[in-house]
Amino acid sequence: MKKVFVRFAALFLAAAICVCGTWTVSAASSNRMVRVGLAYGSGALVNANLENNTGYGSGYRFGYYDDSLNFVELGRTSQSQTALTMIKTQNTWVLKNGSSYTYSNSDNGGSLIGCYHIQMPGSYSDYSSASAAAAGYSDGFVAWIDGEYQVRTGAYATKEDAQAALGGGEGTVVGTSSYGVNVTATGSTQILFQFDGGSARALGIMPDVTGAGTVRTWFKGYRYYGGFRYERINGGNLTVVNIVDMETYIKGVVPYEMSNSWPLEALKAQAICARSYAYNNIQQNKHKSYHFDVCNTTDCQVYCGAGSNSSSYQANARTDQAVEATAGQYGWYDGSVIEAYYSASHGGASESVANVWGSSLSTYPYLCGVTDPYEADMADKNSYSSWTVSYTTAQLTSRLQSKGYGVGTSVSSLTLTYSDLGNVIAVKVNFENGKSNTFKPTTIRSVFGVSSIRFNVNGQGAGSGSSSGSGSASGNLPVNGSGSLSDQDSYSVISGSGSISSVQRDDLYAISGSGAVDKVDSQNSSGGGSGTPSGTTVQVSGSSYSFNGSGNGHQLGMSQWGAYAMANRGYTYDEIIEFYYPGTYVK
């Protein structure tokens, strides 16, 4: 789809101006480092364990990440050290619990790692000399305190205990700041390394001291590539961040957003979506208070690195290939990386972002919604290809009342409003007392307990109602008497030379017969004008309400089952992207 150049240039300029941070549009293809939050906020940890994935590296390096996210090594374990536990420099008790260990900052009956130590006189210029000196004490360890290597011994609960242990010997009793972190051997009270960089620098751990080709490390049931950072934000528990390059990050997203057994072209399309979505997530910088770029949940995108031991929940050669084959590629619209929203299944048509979220189509012209002729191919595999949710009137009334609607009355009928694409964009619940509540797509799924906004009720749906719009419901317009211009979610203009270009509704003005100029309402373009979405409406009443539908998710952008179907039909990943996000291209 070709765009008018002037508009392209204007949008490109606007996009270039609003880019913030250090990552510009032109640099989107660079394989920058990504900080992925694994444990943070209320999930920050008292103790954080790491274990080498056998065969993928041995031992660990200690250090920190500089401002460019380069790892600066300060020290290292031997190759035989396979399991580490990072703890705060607070009194911490370690209790053996079967084959694992429980760490607590209050006495759990286990062994104590205290927060007071004896610091030996002098400082050291490097780790090896400090380490050699520490080895002269049975409980000695190397500490790196604000840029200085020290040798410390012991780990006492109180200053007095440390003072008593010191007696008349040489050294000074010390603690750390509230930003300190100890590296210990898992299950033991042995401190291997103590790090205190104040609020400016956090401990970094980079697995492997052998130079292994591929390094992977277990953390909380998943294997991750790259390094880890342990930060006590405001002196709190450990915020754990995995630091990897963009392509490695995407390899850790694709298999958890789409099954690793799916066709390669569908997985490649998923990689484009994940990378584009990540780009915009990083730009938004919403986790900056935790000092990382993206979290590992559906809030951003599910990320589990190389995955668990389950073959169905891990990266494999196919998912890695999908990422490598599309490395550095994003979905673009007019010079900006697209907001590549996707959901599992649209059930036949995606929907305009204007109808789903009330967002402007001029901001997201490619989230205009498309009729999907492919997804139905997968009906036998897609458990959401058809679903039914039924309520008696009493049950529906009770469900609504539990959410605060229709208290003291009962449901008398439902008025469903359908978009041109056949999705439900409003449900008005009419109550016996004459009052009503209207629900939009942002709440329809949760209020009615349905998995998509593509449904009919008691068999009455898009095809059975009346159109409140002034034009045809399909949006097809005759062109030059013979052709047909099918454009369901935006208007097109035909120039004097006969070329056709699309115009966004938000930019559209109409001149009436009397000469008055009015902006066309982007939410009500087919002429309803009453403040509620226009389109086909149907009214349903009865002693029960049976919602029969298809699809699962918010219905924006790519359908994952549709991508599977398109790949099966021989479409390539860029064709899949360009179909679900009209007007975009992959680059």
Interaction of residue 457 with Zn ion, rule CB under 5 A? no
278 lies in the binding site for Zn ion (CB under 5 A): no
Asked whether 276 and 580 are in contact (CB, 8 A), the reply is no
Q: Is 299 a binder of Zn ion (CB under 5 A)?
A: yes
User: Which tokens hold the place of 143?
Assistant: 């500490």
Smallest distance from the beta carbon of 234 to Zn ion, in angstroms? Answer: 20
Contact segment (CB under 5 A) with Zn ion among 241-249, 287-295, 455-463, 529-537 equals 287-295
Q: Which stretch binds Zn ion (CB under 5 A): 214-222, 289-297, 451-459, 471-479?
A: 289-297
Closest CB to Zn ion among residues 76, 287: 287
Cβ atoms within 10 Å of 487's Cβ, excluding its own: 16
Closest to Zn ion by CB, 300 or 567: 300
- For residue 527, the minimal CB distance to Zn ion (Å) is 40
Contact call for residue 295 and Zn ion (CB under 5 A): yes
Nearer to Zn ion, 40 or 124 (CB): 40
Q: How far is the CB of 281 from Zn ion (least distance, A)?
A: 7
Q: Which residue, 300 or 565, is less far from Zn ion as judged by CB?
A: 300
* Nearest approach, Cβ of residue 253 and Zn ion (Å): 12
Least distance from Zn ion to the Cβ atom of residue 299, Å? 4
**Is the Cβ of residue 192 or residue 295 nearer to Zn ion in the bound state?**
295
Question: Which residues lie below 8 Å from residue 140, measured CB to CB, with a gap of 6+?
Answer: 120, 133, 134, 151, 152, 153
Q: How many residues make contact with Zn ion (CB under 5 A)? A: 3
Nearer to Zn ion, 153 or 242 (CB): 242
What's the chain's Rg over C-alpha atoms? 30
Q: Is residue 7 exposed (0-12), middle (13-18) or buried (19+ Cβ within 10 Å)?
A: middle
Q: Are strands 342-343 and 558-559 parallel, antiparallel or unpaired?
A: parallel
Q: Is position 300 an interface residue for Zn ion (rule: CB under 5 A)?
A: yes
Nearest-approach distance from CB 300 to Zn ion, in angstroms? 3
Q: Provide the minimum distance between the beta carbon of 544 and Zn ion in the complex, in angstroms, as a whole number.
A: 40
Please give the full DSSP string across 467-525, using - where no structure is assigned. Answer: E-SSS-TT-EEEETTTEEEE-SSSEEEE-TTS-EEEE-GGG-EEE-TTS-EEEPPTT-T
Nearer to Zn ion, 295 or 444 (CB): 295
Instruction: Please tell me the number of Cα atoms within 13 Å of 180 on its side-chain side.
Output: 22
Q: Verify binding: residue 241, Zn ion, rule CB under 5 A.
A: no
Q: What type of residue sits at position 470?
A: S
**Binding flag, residue 285, Zn ion (CB under 5 A):** no
CA distances, 310 to each of 307, 317, 320, 344, 503 (Å): 8, 15, 17, 22, 49
Supply φ then ψ for residue 565, to 5 degrees: -65, -45
Distance in Å, CB of 36 to Zn ion, minimum: 9
In the complex, the residues that contact Zn ion under the rule CB under 5 A are 295, 299-300
